[in-house]
Amino acid sequence: MPIETIRWVGDENGYAELIDQTLLPIRKEYIKCSDVRQMWSAIRVLSIRGAPALGVAAAMGLVLGLKESQASDTGNLIKDLKKQKEYLETSRPTAVNLFWALERLEAVAFENRTLPPVELKRKLLQEALQIQEEDRRICRAIGRNGAELLNDGDGVLTHCNAGALATADYGTALAVIYAAHQAGMNVSVFADETRPLLQGARLTTWELKEADIPVTLICDSMAAQVMREGKVDAVIVGADRIAANGDTANKIGTYALSIIAKEHGVPFYVAAPISTIDMKLLHGDDIPIEQRDPEEITQWGERRIAPAGIEVYNPAFDVTPAANIDAIITERGVIKRPTANKIETHIE
């Protein structure tokens, strides 16, 4: 079983608990968020991260915000909700899932505006837990579908952290590994450390170890050598965004991995929920590559590891062409050798 990244304790007057990911992999500690400000800063300082996990955190944050509301009627409660929603939106303004979850709760409040305040608060907690439950089901379904592609004894290579720590449950790429493991298969994992932010070294190895799944840490540049030695039977990665034709944007380094896998005849799989597929995006070339802070590469904590003022190129992600992807695994099934047609049929 993977670890529980975020959970709600008690009724609508209860609190949330989440693993403080800034302390990983040194120690596992839950932060108790009893009020909205605590949740706001947990999101802000990246104690919690990953699109689905952020949706759940934001929804729970809104429930926390309403605990404090003194509104005696629902009209005023909804006014308070809007205020708290705006406040939570400032915690991480680029997190799409956070906005999505907050809007979903706002819509529920509006639909139930005839309920008394206490009942509406309860309703909103239910909705937050529903978001979590939906994510859990999606993770489990992705896991089940993907596990069909693996065999007993397989070595799986993964990049970054598309695991339990990024979602409300099994994760996406790692869901496949958890599901195979739970089905009694022996699977072992090679985890790319994933420069520059080392999500693989810090998070993926940690959560797999917690789940007693054998994992070996490597530098990103070692994946080709591991494949050459015949130790890798499949590469499985997550996705930030999938275009209508199957081109997949994911953490920088994914594209290189797809080329290396092809060279060694190792199947390359993308595991992601349907919601990641953006049908308005015809192909991956339309995705602008975001540049991140050079200091992610030139600094290590307080220490400088490159000459002062050196030019740096630090793309956040790259795009793997659909031609390099053997299958996209979603909660609905597996799209083998993805094309625009197959994807359209799949999501209908």
Binding residues for a copy of itself (CB under 8 A): 25-26, 190, 192-196, 198, 201-202, 205-206, 209, 214-226, 228, 252-253, 255-256, 259-260, 263, 289, 297-298, 300-301, 303-308, 310-315, 318
* Beta-bridge partner residues of 31: 18
Among candidate residues 240, 247, 318, 326, the one labeled active-site is 240
> What does the alpha-carbon distance between residue 84 and residue 9 come to, in Å, rounded to a whole number?
21
Nearest residue (CB) to a copy of itself, 112 versus 299: 299
Tokens linked to 217: 């840490």
Cα gap 41→91, rounded to integer Å: 7
CB closer to a copy of itself, 76 vs 225: 225
Pick 76 or 221: Cβ nearer a copy of itself: 221
- Residue 156, classed as helix, strand or coil, is strand
Tell me how far apart the alpha carbons of residues 185 and 152 are, in angstroms, rounded to a whole number: 5
CA gyration radius, the chain:
21
Chain center to CA of 299: 25
Taking the complex as a whole, the smallest distance from the CB of residue 98 to a copy of itself amounts, in Å, to 27
Cβ proximity to a copy of itself: between 116 and 153 the closer is: 153
Buried/exposed 37-55: b ≥16 CB within 10 Å, e otherwise: ebbbebbeeebbbbbbbbb
- Dihedral pair phi/psi, residue 172, rounded to 5°: -115, -75
Identify whether 154 is a catalytic site residue: no
Whose Cβ is closer to a copy of itself: residue 13's or residue 216's?
Answer: 216
Of 235, 56, 209, 261, the C-alpha closest to 154 is: 235
CA distances from 68 to 43, 104, 186 (A): 20, 21, 49
- Give Cβ neighbours of residue 347 (< 8 Å, ≥ 6 apart): 274, 277, 279, 332
- List active site positions: 240
